[in-house]
Each structure stands twice: as C-alpha cells, then as structure tokens.
A and B are shown apart, each in its own frame.
Chain A
Amino acid sequence: MNAENENKLREIVYDVKGLNLWYGEDQALKDINMKIYQNEVTAIIGPSGCGKSTFIKTLNRMIENIPSVRTSGEILYHGENIFDKAVRVEELRTRVGMVFQKPNPFPKSIYENVVYGPKIHGIKDKRLLMEITENSLKSAALWDEVKDRLNDNAYGLSGGQQQRLCIARCLAVQPDVILMDEPTSALDPIATAKIEELIDRLKADYSISIVTHSMQQAGRISDKTAFFLMGELIEYSDTVTIFSNPLDKRTEDYITGRFG
C-alpha cells in the first residue's frame, strides 16, 4: 500500500490483522487489514451500514457491550493484541479515548464532566483537578466560553459546545488515541467548522481516527482515508490519493457521488 511506504518513520499505533466481526450470524467486518499511524488523522468513510462505526468501536472494544458480537483476527495496539486475555478493557480505554456521535455530557456541572475521568483514575488533589480542567478545556477550545461558569450544568451549553466539552472530557484522561464516531453529524456548520479546526490542532499530540459521513470533511481534515463498503476495507491510502486518484472503481463511484 502507498501509505506504508511514505510512513516508515511514523510509529504504528494500530495494526489490524485479519479482523472479522459478526453480530450474531451477520458478518459486519470482513478480513480487515489496516495500519493506523501516530499523530495522523485517519478518516473512515463509506455508506451507511458499511461497518465503519463498528470498526472504530472495535478499536477500543466498545463494540463488546453489544451481547451477540463475536470477533476473530488481531488488533495490535503498540504491538499488543487488544483481544489478548491479559488486556483489560478499562486500561485500553484509558489510552484510547472516544468521542461519540451525539454529544453525551453527564448531567453534572461542566467541571464535574471534565474531571470525571481523572477522578476515576485516582486523582484527588483539587488544585491538580482544576489545572486539568483548565488545560483540557483550553485544548478543546472551550475555556474562554465557559471559564466563568464551570459549575453550571453541562446541559446549558449549545450542542457544539457540548461536543467540545466531550472532547475536553476525553482529553482530560490523557489518551494517546482519540476515536471519533461522526462527531459533527448532530451539529450545525459553524459548530462543525470549530470541531474540524480543533481536530487539526489536536493531531500534533494525538492520533485521531474519525468516522465521517461527509467526504468533504474527510478531505478537509484527514491525512489518510479508508473506504469501507459492506464490511470490507476497499481502499486505504493518503487522503489526497484517495480523492484524486482512487485505485478502485467502487471508491471512485462513492467519492464522485454515484452511490452512497
């Protein structure tokens, strides 16, 4: 693959090898092989039901909350198979944060939302927690808007602000990877632009995998793009290549809007 040659220097975060996934009898992912690199934004695109959300939720094993899910194959995270019995999902998810489709802050204050993660991981020092709150909210470009009302309920924020709060809450745990499952699909264009700007800034410190319905969004923010179709990874390459010179006819059809 193209991507592999160009990125010999970049560290591999995820190495997915022969991943299959079933919901009961229905196979949702078929033999996925894919490497995700450090400090890059990897966009995952494809039509509804193609398995892109399933795939991203497999990367932190969130998918296992659905009872009938079975998997085979390997996902190496920094060389360690995440399906290994020795791996605790709690520890995996501490390193791999997630931002969801619908903003889902807790019905608590803005402050309590941000410190939720640090607190469950044992941080009690009030001054440290305040520092984490400020840093996380600044990183999520929300600090200036909420610094005077940290004790207000998070549900008083707008949808876009809530989503940035969720990003701040995720950053507060200091993950290495952030998985984003269509993080802007519930937001208006202005809020979307803010989140996209934010993603672009965050990739200096984090590896980001983002599922998106919008090809324009993938084109704007991602370094690499993976195109999924009916549970298969059809094409995975540099975003520029995918959009200008796709190898597969189906990729081209999707990108040019002939289906999907």
Chain B
Amino acid sequence: MQQAEVDMQTRDMKSKEDKSMENNKKGHVEKYVQIDSNRTKRRILLNVLAERLFSLSTLFALIVLGILLYRVGEQGIGWINLHFLTGRLSINPDKAGIYGAIIGTVGLMVIVIPVTLGLGVATAIYLEEYATKGKIQAFIKVNISNLASVPSVIFGLLGLTVFGRLLNLGSSILAGGLTLSLLVLPIVVVSSQEAIKAVPGFLKEASYGMGADKWTTIRKVVLPVALPGILTGAILAISRAIGETAPLVVLGIPTLILKVPTSLMDDFTALPIQIYYWTLDTVLTPEYANLAAATIIVLLVVLFLLNALAIFIRNKYQRSY
C-alpha cells in the first residue's frame, strides 16, 4: 500500500525534476507544496475583500428598499384613515378613497387564484407524471418557460384581443382576471413542476408497490409532499398578479370610476392602476402624489398579509406530517 503510494508520487515527480527522484530513493519525499506566508496573507485578504463586496451588494438592495419605504411611508401614512379605505374615488384629493380599487383587486384575485392554481397544477401534473418523456414534452416545457419571460404588455394585448374583443368581455374584472391569469400561469406551472419533480421516486414506488394506480399515488403521495413548493410558487405568482399594471392599462381600464363594481362583469379599477393614474395626474393636482403613496402602502400591506397567510398555510401543512 505504502509502496504503491510512493510509486505514484515517484511517477508525478519524474516530470518535475530529477532531484526529487533521488530523494525518493532515499525514502523521503520532498514537499512540492510549500507554505508561502505572503501568498497565504494575500489569499486571506482577498477573502475579506470578497466578503465586504458581497455584503455591500446586499446592503445596496436593502438601502434602496429602505429609502422607498421611508419616502412612501412619510408621504402616504398620514393620508391613510378609515375614510381613505372605505371611500369612493373623488376629484377632490381630501375626499378620495380607494374602496373601489380594493374591491377591484379582490375581484381580480377571485379569478386569478382558482384559474392559475387549477390550470397550473393540472398542467404540471400532466407534464411531470403523465406525458411520455420525449421531444414533444421537452418542447412544451421549454416554451412554458419562455412564456414566463414574455413582457406583461404583450399579455395585455393578448387579453385585449381574446377576452376584451373576441369574447366581448370588455374591460371587466373577468377580462382583467383572465389576462392576469395568463400572465402568471407559466410561473405557477414551472414552480409546480419543480415541486412535483422534487418528490422522491422511492415514495411513489412505495405507493405503486401496494397496488396504487397513478392518480391515487399523485393525490395521496405526490401532491401532499409537493404542496409547500406549489404554494410557494403560487404566492409568488399571485403577488406578481396583484402588482401588475401594464396589462390592465392595455386592456383599457378607465381612468376614473366612481361606481364600485358589484359583479365580475363590471368595469373596475385596481390598486396598482390607481397608483399609476394618480402618479400621472400629479402634474395637475400635487396632492395626488400623497394619495399614490398611501395606496402603495395599502398594496404593500396586502401583499405582506397574503404572503404571511400563505406561509402560515405552508407551515401548517409541513407540521401535519
């Protein structure tokens, strides 16, 4: 064993220099890894530098976020009160409220959540569990990933053409919700696929081994294990849908709606749209900037609450087994 090791080293040495070969014969090996304290110092310094650089990068994002939150908070927090949350839109900034926009956003979610979860998870199950692995399946997968990177304006145009015009849904909540669903569907599909793929094969084998069919196995083994992952993806997707503005603008959501929507077929406004229009109109009425800031706070709070709820559900599921 030892002899073999020495032989190996001898072979390595041969190419280096003859001198060390001579040493070998005498039974001790000259070390070719030398400790160079200058080099070591340099490397350690480089490490410290790298650490600083990376922490600064992290700090950069945090600082920008901090500035944003501070600016928005300072400008908007004073404008948030019960009237702002429950009041209708108004040309007079002091009287304006975002009740309609809140209802509009809730309405959008009523469409987006079931449509994306249903279609997204079903697609992911099909692609991962049922579709025969091959070129066609790979092609579909690549294109779903591609869809996820299509700009949202283009989805807006698609929604306008198909839902707005072709199906004659106009700029209703239904049209907006379906458009946003299309937009975030690829995200849900891809993340659900990842979650399903991550379910260990040996768990599925155990189920098949007891005479379970595929659907039973998916329902009772794959989906429960994949659920936290699926929910994480869904949270991301829904957050994105709530914050999206461009597709709704393209869909032609009216600037000012004084009527609060009562059905999914009604015209509507949503929180990000409201932020967008109020910001545009700041030129005319400076106070609108404060209203926009206040609405941003509300939107952020809604997003944080949604995330918290989803995380809560996820943890609860994880704990139950």
Contacts and interface: CB of A to CB of B under 8 A. Distances in A.
**A and B from one assembly?**
yes
Contacts of B211: 90-95, 117, 120-121, 173
Contacts of A109: 321
Contacts of B213: 90
Contact of B209 (A67, A107, A153, A170): A170
A157 B277 CA distance: 59
A62 interface: yes
A254 to B, nearest CB: 26
A237 interface: no
B321 A60 contact: no
Interface string A97-139: 1101010111111001000110011000000000000000000
Contacts of A104: 200, 202-203, 205-206
Contact of B206 (A92, A100, A153): A100
Contacts of B210: 93-94, 97, 116-117, 120, 169-170, 173
A83 to B, nearest CB: 17
Question: For chain B, what secondary structure do more than half of its interface residues adopt (helix, strand, loop), or is it mixed?
Answer: helix
B228 to A, nearest CB: 11
A60 B209 contact: yes
A107 B220 CA distance: 11
Given A106-B221, A107-B321, A65 B205 contact: yes
B133 interface: yes
A102 B208 CA distance: 16
A116 B321 contact: no
A239 to B, nearest CB: 26
Interface residues of A, number: 30
A121 B216 CA distance: 10
Contacts, number: 69
Contacts of B258: none
Nearest to A91: B211
B225 A102 contact: no
A142 interface: no
A62 B321 contact: no
Given A100-B202, A106-B221, A107-B225, A120 B208 contact: no
B212 interface: yes
Interface string A41-79: 000000000000000000010100101000000000000
A166 interface: yes
B173 to A, nearest CB: 40
Given A90-B211, A93-B211, A166 B321 contact: no
A67 B220 CA distance: 23
B119 to A, nearest CB: 27
B10 interface: no
A112 B320 CA distance: 11
A62 B209 contact: yes
A62 B208 contact: yes
Interface in B210-239: 210-213, 216, 220-221, 224-225
A243 to B, nearest CB: 30
B279 to A, nearest CB: 48
Nearest to B319: A153
Contacts of A117: 210-212
30 contacts: A60-B209, A62-B205, A62-B209, A65-B208, A91-B211, A92-B211, A93-B209, A94-B210, A104-B203, A104-B205, A105-B206, A106-B206, A106-B207, A106-B221, A107-B203, A107-B225, A107-B321, A108-B224, A108-B321, A109-B321, A116-B207, A116-B220, A117-B210, A117-B211, A120-B207, A120-B220, A153-B321, A169-B206, A170-B210, A173-B211
Interface of A: 60, 62, 65, 67, 90-95, 97-98, 100, 102, 104-109, 112, 116-117, 120-121, 153, 166, 169-170, 173
Interface of B: 132-133, 200, 202-203, 205-213, 216, 220-221, 224-225, 321
